[in-house]
Amino acid sequence: MKKFILALALVLIAAPAFAATVTLNITAGANAVSHTIEKSTNGGAYSVLTTVNMPELQYIDTAVTVSNTYAYRVKTNSSIDSSAVSTPCTIALLAAGNSTVSCTANP
């Protein structure tokens, strides 16, 4: 019985924490070929996270941690030029699991 309890305790200690993700839904800008996504953590500076090509209008960010606040901005890339970044879309992660935020890209 002692061996079983010890083995169970080791499994519980070694078990990973539940993961958190943010699903970013994008409303496409006019004439979009792709969208560049920028990310800020807890009010810090924005950096380019990724670029998604049309027709993809969703990105799942797995590099997030519970208790942080994330802001995303989206820029439309056309075959001619790029738009200004969108208004920030902000989400505070309060628990593990998937959270969703939506951003509208500028034309």
Phi, psi of 92, deg, nearest 5:
-100, 125
- Confidence grade of residue 107 (pLDDT, cut at 50, 70, 90): confident
H/E element, 12:
helix 2-14
- Taking 60 as the threshold, does the pLDDT of residue 11 lie above it? no
CA distances from 26 to 1, 3, 16, 36, 89 (A): 54, 52, 31, 10, 10
- Domain membership of residue 25 (yes or no) is no
Residue-wise pLDDT for 52-86, tens only, equals 999 999 999 999 999 999 999 999 999 999 999 99
Q: Structural domain tally of the chain?
A: 1
* Residue 19 belongs to a domain: no
- Preceding omega of 16 cis (within 30 degrees of 0): no
pLDDT value of residue 5: 46
Question: How does residue 44 score in pLDDT terms, banded at 50, 70 and 90?
Answer: very high
Give the CATH number, domain containing residue 73.
2.60.40.10
Asked whether residue 44 is domain-assigned, the answer is yes
